[in-house]
Structure 1
């Protein structure tokens, strides 16, 4: 900002530079946060104008696509406080200086391979305090579920109710309930904070492979996929009676269960059988629970050459579209709109349409995420992270390829603010989104190294909230917390 010449404050306390309050607001609307802080020191009138919540709200919404103030303490300066704290996190995450901008902790305690991990703390931004500590849960082949304070690197509680390897986790954030499924077919339900066991769901033949939760009608439902290709539906309030069991992909382990806004359930196995879509609201209705699940089937998505499905991401800016990654490295873009028009005896009049397939990677697509009108993809068979833009005809245009890892990319996390990738070369790479004209561009920033994890076989997965990220490496977790 150009230097502003201002006379000293008059004896009566008013500004010697006579500018109306409304004019000051108009002028200050062109300043960034740093410059607003500077002009607030000129005189009392300028200070009062620079503290106007509307200015800081405008700055927040101009800089960040989404701002959640639900965790902030109500008050006139809430937008200013939000901006200050979040700007500090962005600065730390963008710079990535060890010790100065982030702290690294190794979380040890599991005796077997870690199979899954989820954040228990709210994923929304908590910028009202610098003492916010993200909480993580992990499960392992050692038959335990563990909760961690990743900032301190301390273990909070251990669940030892399982009698076999724990394979997957799912969180119901509204009620702070964590569910963990194991190879014997049991699902245990935990209170997130004290780690108290609230009940057990049993009888999943072939073990529990994947779980999702949703709310529809009067049910808060847990949908569990099994190693035999079945789906069992439970009401969280009743652990004794299963609401419904039906075969989705018979004889194949269900590796993929994905929900779109509690309305559509995508089900697939990486062993084959294509992908099926179910109408969740109908499935959880009285008619759906007592009738044939096939009547709730709204589409089947099959690759033209019958390639196995590896992953799916819903396109938030295209509510009736999804992108699917396949075993041969293809990404297929599907139009689900024909499947949302008209219904005949529970089935859709027209099946989903495969708009376009793109040869994206040399091997199976293991990571696929959509944000900012962009797709981000990765394969465990190559070292590339790629960004794609979606064209009107459903084709994908490659925007940029990143080769920051020396080994194959084994996992990615993408949100509105950043992307994080991990590799079996013991590294985690951080990227940040920035505006360039009317589009978003992903900038490669820096690498977080695995440090003391040399006994592991690199990172197998990565997850992140808005102030931290965690890599899964064998029996250990490597946690990085960014300073505020």
Structure 2
């Protein structure tokens, strides 16, 4: 490396390495010390991870050093996916969530930390699913247990979640928007849009929760 411009050359290497895939990047890291240091740049591995997966949970690596976490996360997740594809045992558990009689139209995640569910540990994870059979179901994904099932309504078309409030929002084919308490299944509220094609969008502004409901050519409801 040019001793007069070490950082410039390093930046050039990193830029060149953005054109490499993960296998070529690992190969490049074995060439020399300078190439190794450039190939270990966390930003490169972060970029590769986010290109492959839309969501990456670095907390899964525990106390690993931050400078190496993105690369290790990529390697660990690839190894896990390979084991799952080949049916090998590993750091994962497969559970069959059976109960719906129709097509599942969506699945959302909740962290099971509500005091309203004393039979679940605070570390239990809950997912809620919606189906064309007209029901919402909640599941403990650690043991596959069905926690609750909503009353049957028209075929459901969409499900979203507000994790902070632990509220599930669904829309059905008759245009009915319904909110459910995610841990208990209690119906909180409902609103008829009189439209069979609705789009739900949940977002937060300054910690205030909003739900926008729109139908074709009209965006018209904020909650």
So what's the TM-score if we normalise by structure 2?
Answer: 0.55
**Match among 166, 181, 195 for residue 263 of structure 1:** 166
Q: Deviations over 1:150-172 (max 9, x none)?
A: 4799453342599xxxxxxxxxx
Return the alpha-carbon distance in structure 1 between the equivalents of residues 71 and 214 of structure 2.
33
Q: Secondary structure at the match of 1:203?
A: coil
Residue 122 (1) aligns with residue 62 (2): no
**Match among 98, 101, 107 for residue 202 of structure 1:** 98
Residue 156 (1) aligns with residue 80 (2): yes
**Is residue 248–residue 267 contact of structure 1 (8 Å, CA) maintained in 2?**
no
Number of equivalenced pairs: 173
Q: Secondary structure at the match of 1:119?
A: coil
1:132/1:106 CA distance change after superposition, 3 Å: closer
Q: Deviations over 1:100-120 (max 9, x none)?
A: 66466599xxxxxxxx96434
Residue 315 (1) aligns with residue 204 (2): yes
Rg: which structure is higher? 1
**Match among 263, 269, 276 for residue 178 of structure 2:** 276
- What's the offset of the Cα at 1:247? 3.7
Q: Is the helix fraction higher in 1 or 2?
A: 2
- What's the offset of the Cα at 1:330? 4.2
- What's the offset of the Cα at 1:213? 2.4
1:161/1:331 CA distance change after superposition, 3 Å: farther
- What's the offset of the Cα at 1:276? 0.8
**Alignment correspondent of 2:190:** 300
Return the alpha-carbon distance in structure 1 between the equivalents of residues 188 and 203 of structure 2.
16
**Is residue 314–residue 323 contact of structure 1 (8 Å, CA) maintained in 2?**
yes
- What's the offset of the Cα at 1:267? 1.4
**Alignment correspondent of 1:213:** 110
Return the alpha-carbon distance in structure 2 between the equivalents of residues 121 and 272 of structure 1.
41
- What's the offset of the Cα at 1:266? 1.1
**Is residue 274–residue 309 contact of structure 1 (8 Å, CA) maintained in 2?**
no
1:311/1:196 CA distance change after superposition, 3 Å: same
Residue segments in structure 1 that go unaligned for 5+ positions in a row: 1-91, 108-115, 136-148, 163-190, 284-295, 336-484
- What's the offset of the Cα at 1:206? 1.8
Q: Secondary structure at the match of 1:326?
A: strand
Q: Secondary structure at the match of 1:306?
A: coil
Residue segments in structure 2 that go unaligned for 5+ positions in a row: 1-10, 19-42
**Is residue 235–residue 243 contact of structure 1 (8 Å, CA) maintained in 2?**
yes
**Is residue 171–residue 177 contact of structure 2 (8 Å, CA) maintained in 1?**
yes
Q: Deviations over 1:106-138 (max 9, x none)?
A: 99xxxxxxxx96434339xx9952211278xxx
- What's the offset of the Cα at 1:322? 1.2
1:301/1:121 CA distance change after superposition, 3 Å: farther
**Is residue 156–residue 170 contact of structure 2 (8 Å, CA) maintained in 1?**
no
Q: How does 1:235-250 map to 2 (within 5 A)?
A: 235-239=140-144, 241-247=145-151, 249-250=153-154
**Is residue 121–residue 134 contact of structure 1 (8 Å, CA) maintained in 2?**
no
Q: Secondary structure at the match of 2:68?
A: coil
RMSD of equivalent CA atoms? 4.4
